[in-house]
Structure 1
Amino acid sequence: MLHLRLIVPADRTDEVIATVRGTVGATHLAVLPGAAREPAGDLVLCDVAREAGDQLIGRLRRLGLDESGAITAEEVGLSLSRHADRAEAEAPGEGSDAVLWEELTEVTHEESTLSVSYVAFLAVATMLAACGVMLDNAILIVGAMAVGPEFGPLAGISTALVQRAPRLAGRSLWALLAGFALAMTVTAGFSWLLDALGLFRDEMVTADRPNTGFIWHPDWMSFVVALLAGVAGTLSLTSAKSGALIGVAISVTTVPAAANAAVAFSYADYAQTWGSAVQLLANLAGIVLAGTLTLLAQKALWRLAHARTPPRP
Structure 2
Amino acid sequence: MSLLAREPGIEHVIQVGVTAPSNLTLVTADVDPGIVDHLLHSLAACGVSGEEIEIVHTTSTRPMGVGRAGDLPAWSGGGLAWTELTITSRQYARAVPQYLVFMACAGVIAVFGVLTKNPILVVGAMAISPDLLPMCATCVGIVDRHPRLAVRALAALVVGLAVACLSAYLTTVLLRLGDYPPANGSLGDGGLGLLPTVNVSTVVVAFAAGVAGILAFETRSSSAVGVAISITTIPAAAFFGAAAAVHDGEGAVGALAVLLVNVAVLVLAGTLTMHAQRRYRSR
| TM-score relative to the length of structure 1 | 0.81
Give the structure with the higher percent strand. Answer: 1
Deviation at 1:253, TM superposition (A): 2.4
Deviation at 1:179, TM superposition (A): 1.9
Which of 107, 119, 143 is residue 126 of structure 1 equivalent to?
107
Q: CA RMSD in A?
A: 2.4
Which deviates more, 154-163 or 103-112? 103-112
Residue type of the alignment partner of 1:32: V
Q: In 2, Cα distance between the equivalents of 1:48 and 1:81? A: 20
Equivalent in the alignment of 1:14: none
| Aligned residue-pair number | 279
Equivalent in the alignment of 2:58: 75
| Residue 120 to residue 243, structure 1, CA distance change in 2 (3 Å) | closer
What aligned pairs does 1:53-202 form with structure 2 within 5 A after superposition?
Answer: 53-67=36-50, 69-78=52-61, 89=68, 91=70, 94=72, 96=76, 98-199=79-180, 200-202=182-184
| Residue 243 to residue 264, structure 1, CA distance change in 2 (3 Å) | closer
**1:125-153: CA deviations, max 9, x gaps?**
01111111111111111111111111111
Deviation at 1:239, TM superposition (A): 2.2
Equivalent in the alignment of 2:220: 240
Q: In 1, Cα distance between the equivalents of 2:104 and 2:141? A: 25
Equivalent in the alignment of 1:220: 200
- Identity over the aligned pairs, expressed in percent? 29
| Residue 64 to residue 204, structure 1, CA distance change in 2 (3 Å) | farther
Counterpart contact for 1:51–1:94, Cα < 8 Å = no
Q: Which runs of 5+ in 2 are unaligned?
A: none
Deviation at 1:204, TM superposition (A): 3.3
Counterpart contact for 2:164–2:234, Cα < 8 Å = no
Equivalent in the alignment of 2:262: 283
Q: In 1, Cα distance between the equivalents of 2:117 and 2:51? A: 58
Q: Which runs of 5+ in 1 are unaligned?
A: 1-16, 305-313
| TM-score relative to the length of structure 2 | 0.88
Deviation at 1:193, TM superposition (A): 0.4
Q: In 1, Cα distance between the equivalents of 2:106 and 2:244? A: 18
**1:94-143: CA deviations, max 9, x gaps?**
47474411221222222232111101100110111111111111111111
Q: Secondary structure at the match of 2:16?
A: strand
Which deviates more, 241-250 or 220-229? 241-250
| Residue 255 to residue 69, structure 1, CA distance change in 2 (3 Å) | same
| Residue 99 to residue 120, structure 1, CA distance change in 2 (3 Å) | same
